[in-house]
């Protein structure tokens, strides 16, 4: 049996995800919607790019209607609009990124310190209403619809919520009872590296400029740290919006001794090298985020500190990994315990092998085929 799968992207960073679907009986086509991509139609027969326009959206919908399955990466306005106009017979997989739902939960995802900064920069009620009216008006003019309407229809139309953690899915389903059926994303590509370089006394903090990182709480901890031990702190600040919040974080970070702010783009090779030599990774997000960073850290024997409020902390602990709470960060800094012990390295490597075998591509592909044969729809 052969099936055809179209992958809809609005961000070129995630085009690589098609590799998880590679199978002799699956034809995959990456479709990128972007005004900033130079497309050479002769270069790759499994890839096509369109610029943003309502006419091109019609072309994409017509093209997708020729496939068995459509995978949408992020349930944004464009992807919601496309999903809602596909034939009912087409199975739709929503590759969940996080922002789609967590952005609607500000009281949960921001620490009080983060919220206080965001509140100071909050526009007046009148300004907010004017901007909201302007945004909705543009949507109505361009799409004859609104993001709110399209999203609410799409989330009920898609057939599968494709995520990394069943625990996260159950957590979100308590908030959004109408979520579609869960589909486990394969994680078999994550492997422990054998030739780990000597660890430096370096700690990586956060993954971008987003307020979801709750940076200020970590900077407060570092401000209270004073020791003879020479530890280098590296704040990952190389993508995301530059705004009032990021300016406040940058200002506070510049006052921390031995802290470097990394604002330059990292190639994939440089990204991996960073984790190969780092001792620890600290992520203070209260929501699922920075999974690429977390998995890179696990592959490189890096000690991981997460916030207990983050469901991914609970999930990784359930899977058997040695993961550490940010509550212990200051004490570990003072006692120079920022590297995994040899015993913990061996333990995490064993768990990682079991983890990747458990969430394998073979099972993922079988679930894909079941969608079409209606065995598990």
CATH of the domain at 218: 3.40.50.2000
340-375 core/surface letters (b: 16 or more CB in 10 A; e: else): beeeebeebbebbeebbeebebeebbebbeebeeee
Task: Tell whether 77 and 175 lie within a shared domain.
Answer: yes
Residue closest to 309 by CA, chosen among 119, 102, 100, 89: 102
**Given the DSSP bridges, would you call strands 26-33 and 303-306 parallel, antiparallel or unpaired?**
unpaired
Tens-digit pLDDT profile for residues 128-165: 665 665 676 777 777 778 889 999 999 999 999 999 99
Distance CA 27, CA 46 (A): 9
Q: Could you report the per-residue pLDDT of 77-117, keeping only the tens digit for each? A: 999 999 999 999 999 999 999 999 999 999 999 999 999 99
Inside any domain, residue 133: no
pLDDT at 268: 86
More confident of the two residues 213 and 139: 213
| pTM: predicted TM-score of the whole model, two decimal places | 0.91
* Eight-state DSSP code of residue 23: B
String of DSSP letters for 231-263: -EEEEE-SSS--SHHHHHHHHHHHTSTTEEEE-
DSSP state of 200: P
Has residue 251 been placed in a domain? yes
**Could you tell me whether strands 202-205 and 280-283 are parallel, antiparallel, or unpaired per DSSP bridges?**
parallel
Complete DSSP assignment for 141-160 = HHHSS-HHHHHHHHHHH-SE
Same domain as 159, residue 22: yes
Residue 169 — very low, low, confident or very high, per pLDDT cuts 50/70/90? very high
Distance CA 313, CA 266 (A): 26
Count of domains forming the chain: 2
| Mean pLDDT over each residue of the chain, to the nearest integer | 91
pLDDT exceeding 90 applies to what percent of the chain? 79
| Token pair of 109 as six digits | 């995802």
Q: Lowest mean pLDDT of 29-38, 86-95, 132-141, 275-284, name the range.
A: 132-141
Q: Is the pLDDT of residue 376 over 50?
A: no
d(CA 20, CA 14): 12
Residue of higher predicted confidence among 189 and 374:
189
- Asked if residue 284 belongs to a domain, the reply is yes
Domain containing residue 66: 3-114+145-188+359-373
The confidence score (pLDDT) of residue 124 equals 47
């Amino acid at each position: 049996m052969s099936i055809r799968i179209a992958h809809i992207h609005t961000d070129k960073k995630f085009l690589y995800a098609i590799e998880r679907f590679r199978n002799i009986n699956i034809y995959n086509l990456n479709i990128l919607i972007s005004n900033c991509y130079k497309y050479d139609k002769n270069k790759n027969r499994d890839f096509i790019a369109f610029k943003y326009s309502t006419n091109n959206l019609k072309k994409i919908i017509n093209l997708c209607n020729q496939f068995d399955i459509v995978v949408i990466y992020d349930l944004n306005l464009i992807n919601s609009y496309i999903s809602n106009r596909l034939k009912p017979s087409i199975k739709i997989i929503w590759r969940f990124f996080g922002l789609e739902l967590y952005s609607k939960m500000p009281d949960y995802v921001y620490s009080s310190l983060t919220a206080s900064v965001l509140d100071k920069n909050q526009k007046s009620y009148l300004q907010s209403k004017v901007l909201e009216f302007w945004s909705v008006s543009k949507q109505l003019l361009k799409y004859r619809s609104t993001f709110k309407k399209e999203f609410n229809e799409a989330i009920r139309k898609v057939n599968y919520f494709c995520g990394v953690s069943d625990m996260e899915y159950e957590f979100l389903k308590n908030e959004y009872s109408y979520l579609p059926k869960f589909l486990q994303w394969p994680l078999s590509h994550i492997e422990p590296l054998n030739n780990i370089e000597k660890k430096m006394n370096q700690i990586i903090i956060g993954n971008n400029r987003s307020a979801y990182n709750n940076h200020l709480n970590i900077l407060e901890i570092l401000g209270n740290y004073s020791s003879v031990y020479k530890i280098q702190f590296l704040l990952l600040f190389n993508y995301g919006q530059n705004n009032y919040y990021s300016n406040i974080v940058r200002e506070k970070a510049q006052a921390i001794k031995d802290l470097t702010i990394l604002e330059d783009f990292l190639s994939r090779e440089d990204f991996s090298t960073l984790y190969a030599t780092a001792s620890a990774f600290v992520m203070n997000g209260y929501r699922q985020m920075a999974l690429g960073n977390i998995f890179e850290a696990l592959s490189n024997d890096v000690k991981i500190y997460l916030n207990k409020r983050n469901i991914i902390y609970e999930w990784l602990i359930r899977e058997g990994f040695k993961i550490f709470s940010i509550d212990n960060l200051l004490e570990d800094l003072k006692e120079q315990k920022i590297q995994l012990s040899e015993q913990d390295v061996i333990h995490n490597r064993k768990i990682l092998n079991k983890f990747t075998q458990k969430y394998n591509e073979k099972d993922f592909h079988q679930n894909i085929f079941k969608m079409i044969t209606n065995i598990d729809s």
